[in-house]
Amino acid sequence: MFERLTSSAAVAAARQQIAALFNQHAEWFCTTSVGGTSGRGETHALRRKEMDVSVAHGRLVLSCWTEKGSRSWRILGWEWNGQMLLLQASRRMGAELSLIELVPRASATAVAATIRAARQIRCDKLAQLACATQMETRIERAALSPGTRLGQPGRYARILLRRKHTRIAVTGAVVASHPASVDALLSSALLWFRRTADRVNPPYIAQLWVIVSSELVNPLLDRVVLLRESLQNLIHVFSVDDDLTKLTEIEGFERCDLWQKKLVRLPPVPPAIVSSQTAAIVAAAPEAIDVVHSRHGETLRYFGLPFARVRSLLGVERIWFGLDASRRRLLDESTRREWENLLHDLRAYRSASAVDLRHAFYRSAAEAWLESLLRRDITKLDPGLIIAPLHAQFRTARGGKLGIRPVDLLALRQDGRLVVIELKVFEDREHVLQGADYWRRVEAHRRRGHIERAKLFGDLNIRDEPPLVYLVAPTLRVHPSFQTLARCIASEIEIYRFDINEDWRSGVRVMRRLRVN
């Protein structure tokens, strides 16, 4: 119910209360509807300092900044419903009537508290479901994992169930999860289980339950079977419905089941034919520009950063350039100056000797930069590797929507062993599990003979042995949990850690190499 401002006392009281509301919130969303119709105007954000309410000649006046400049209204009536401030206003001596809706923007602390409360409710439901599956079991603890930043709520439930002689650790996502996030979930679960199992007094933790939605069941099982047998025996996987009303335990899954899954055969590798225009561009900076071939044409990259596309339309080669796909330009006489400016900026800023290390060209696609250096000479990483053929961003399946990511580099050693290479330039907790998953995919194709039949490495001999895994990162960018997670992987999967120099942009040098599992 609007409070009409028909007296000086009502005006003074309204000014005091509205000013107090403005002071309580730093930012407001303002919608001004001409004609007094709610919700039909344009909305824009206003800061507290951009609004003022005052009394002039016995009238209450609201002044604020809008997209059209400074505006003032006479307030005729007002209402605060706890969530929205509604103001009946007029301008131009009453000729223009408006309804102003002001909604306070929630603070980051309030938003985090709301999210935390909602996730805690889901955590409690998971705890109750898990507890109900076991007789004589009670919930000892049900909390959220730490957030990625201080003060943020975590994404996973951390539950301890207590039985007479044992404890059970239970974890699961309390937010909607994509199959691509399964490495993050399992990494977090294993680290928490290790820390909790070492810390808790008797009775000790005897099992780890991982609760996931149905779409994450198969990706999770594919990774669990790559762990050490002692860990596999402790882990139980459960599927939960969307309403968190039913838990279903998934039957055991063996590593031999991995090799029975249906796979799409790898297509033969077509010969890499470089067009004349592409060759001319590469010649301008052969030490920096490389070419990625696809069915639709060629992509040119400057130290891994895509900056141009060459496509053939009706038999005519055309070049589009630009870093932003939505603003890419066709190279012709009218855009020649822009093209030259782009090449100049790439030489200046995407270089190991760049002066501005904060420039977007220097900071963007860092892993692709490292990959481009190794593609030119993979023997800098391991002298036993064959320089060519070398497959970058190697896809083992068509499943981008399912979270199936390409292998950074697939190489062959001189002794015939395949090598899966996963690169990181920043700390990444999922580094180990990603490498193990890529090993699984490549090994499945090797066992079926797909790699040999597709002649990915020409006529070179491929040994009948599982591939090796090389996990590469700068020395100071290896995640602190790397070694703990590496020890969780089965010893049959040979994983090697390569620590490279921090200034790898100037040239890759291996500082340390060791077997981690």
User: Is the distance from CB of 253 to CB of 221 less than 8 angstroms?
Assistant: yes
495 near 471, Cβ under 8 Å?
yes
- Choose among 289, 327, 319: nearest CA to 306: 289
Amino acid 399: pLDDT: 55
Would you state the pLDDT for residue 24?
Answer: 87
Q: How far, in Å, CA of 46 to CA of 28, rounded? A: 5
Contact 189, 182 (CB under 8 A): no
9 contacts: CB under 8 Å, gap ≥ 6: none
**Distance, CA of 501 to CA of 473 (rounded, Å):** 9
123 exposed, middle or buried (CB, 10 Å; 0-12, 13-18, 19+)? buried
Contact 466, 255 (CB under 8 A): no
Residue with tokens 């808790």: 200
Question: What is the CATH number that goes with domain 3-105?
Answer: 2.70.180
Q: What is the 3-state secondary structure (H, E, C) of 72-117?
A: EEEEEEEEECCCCEEEEEEECCCCEEEEEEEEECCCHHHHHHHHHH
Specify which residues 262 forms β-bridges with: none
Is the pTM of the predicted complex or chain greater than 0.85?
A: no
**Of the candidates 305, 281, 283, the residue with the CA atom closest to the CA atom of residue 369:** 305
Per-residue pLDDT of the chain (517 residues; tens, 9 = 90+): 789 998 999 999 999 999 999 988 888 888 888 765 555 567 788 888 888 999 998 899 999 877 667 888 999 999 998 888 999 999 887 778 889 999 888 776 777 888 899 999 999 999 999 999 988 999 999 999 998 877 788 999 999 999 988 999 999 999 988 888 999 999 999 999 999 998 878 889 999 999 999 999 999 999 999 999 999 999 999 999 999 999 999 987 788 888 888 888 887 777 777 888 889 999 999 999 999 887 678 899 999 999 999 988 777 889 999 998 778 899 999 999 999 999 999 999 999 999 999 999 999 999 999 999 999 999 999 999 999 899 998 888 765 545 578 999 999 999 999 999 999 999 999 999 999 999 999 999 999 999 999 999 998 999 999 999 999 999 999 999 999 999 999 999 999 999 999 999 999 999 999 999 9
3-state secondary structure 35-85: CCCCCCCCEEEEEHHHEEEEEECCEEEEEEEECCEEEEEEEEEEEECCCCE
- What local confidence, expressed as pLDDT, does residue 506 receive? 95
The pLDDT value recorded for residue 35 is 65
Dihedral of alpha carbons 220, 198, 126, 120, sign: negative
To 5 degrees, how large is the angle CA 409–CA 411–CA 416?
Answer: 160
CATH of 366-515, one of 3.40.50.1100, 3.40.50.80, 3.40.1350.10, 1.10.10.10: 3.40.1350.10
SS3 category, 334: helix
Ordered by start, the domain boundaries in the chain are 3-105, 109-260, 276-357, 366-515
**Would 3-105 and 109-260 be classified into the same CATH topology?**
no
CATH number of 109-260: 3.40.1350.10
Residues 158 and 393: their CA atoms lie apart, in Å, by 36
> Which of 182, 229, 175, 243 shows the shortest CA–CA distance to 210?
182
